[in-house]
Amino acid sequence: MNKIEEKRMIRSEMDAGMTAADVVEIVQLLTDNDIRVHVDGGWGVDALLGEQNRPHADLDIAVRHKDVPRLRELLESRGYTEISRDDSWECNFVLSDEAGHEVDVHSYTFDAEGNNIFGVPYPADSLNGVC
């Protein structure tokens, strides 16, 4: 395989699964509906680097737990349903659509002093990043 074919294969693999366009669409949907979303995991790393460095099977996001019902409603209206997994619970679950796009949702609740009092134990200052 020559270099051009190799680059095409890598680009094709990177467009499979959860693409950058898919990520932008979901983040925009949530922010347009007043859900503060933090991109986590592999897409979070790539966002900080400014480019996609590998294919991503899913999109990891962190949201306030109070926003989970609205998030579910919005994604279910777009064909997403919850995948049954042994490690799922109300603050960590995966939603998937028929095309195989997966959104791995992590939720949290902070008190007025910024202490995590419920959900995935994110330190308060870990959700302050922007890119």
Enumerate the β-bridge partners of residue 54.
Answer: none
CATH of the domain at 15: 3.30.460.40
How far, in Å, CA of 109 to CA of 19, rounded? 29
Is residue 55 in a domain?
yes
Q: How large is the average pLDDT for residues 77-94?
A: 96
Is residue 72 in a domain?
yes
State the pTM of this model: 0.84
pLDDT for 11 beyond 60: no
DSSP for residue 100: -
pLDDT for 14 beyond 90: no
| Lookup: tokens for 30 | 């949530």
Residue range(s) defining the domain that contains residue 120? 3-125
Total domains present in the chain: 1
Q: Mean pLDDT in the chain? A: 88
pLDDT for 5 beyond 70: no
Is residue 130 in a domain?
no
Is residue 75 in a domain?
yes
Q: What percent of the chain has pLDDT over 90?
A: 77
pLDDT for 4 beyond 80: no
Enumerate the β-bridge partners of residue 82.
Answer: 95
How far, in Å, CA of 110 to CA of 118, rounded? 7
Q: How large is the average pLDDT for residues 105-117?
A: 94
Is residue 119 in a domain?
yes
| Lookup: tokens for 90 | 């109300």
Is residue 131 in a domain?
no
